Structure 1
């Protein structure tokens, strides 16, 4: 490799923390990745546990009945 040539692997990859929006190092040196800290990781886990994250639903089609409706 020529002197002065940088490799991309030498630079730590920075990603946006999903919780706080700050910079987070995405490397083995950060045990909380993709989060920036243990606090952000626990906030996200708490949101999942309390079912704050949900998939949107549109409901059942009108022609499809459930077992309760028969």
Structure 2
């Protein structure tokens, strides 16, 4: 199945803390991780401009606005 195939390269460990019904992630590691510490800081990458985020924000705003509209219509019976 598609889901099973997507998990072929999922490996590693996660450290969690369980407290009063809550689960808190304390750490994670994987030899196949896609996380790259050099890319998480836009300053390190060097070619990021804050204005680059504008399109991303607009696209996500449309999605969230539609979600809210549908919830309101559903609640009012429209």
Scaled by the length of structure 1, what TM-score is found?
A: 0.27
Return the structure number with greater strand share.
Answer: 2
The structure whose Rg is larger is 1
Scaled by the length of structure 2, what TM-score is found?
A: 0.25
Return the structure number with greater helix share.
Answer: 2
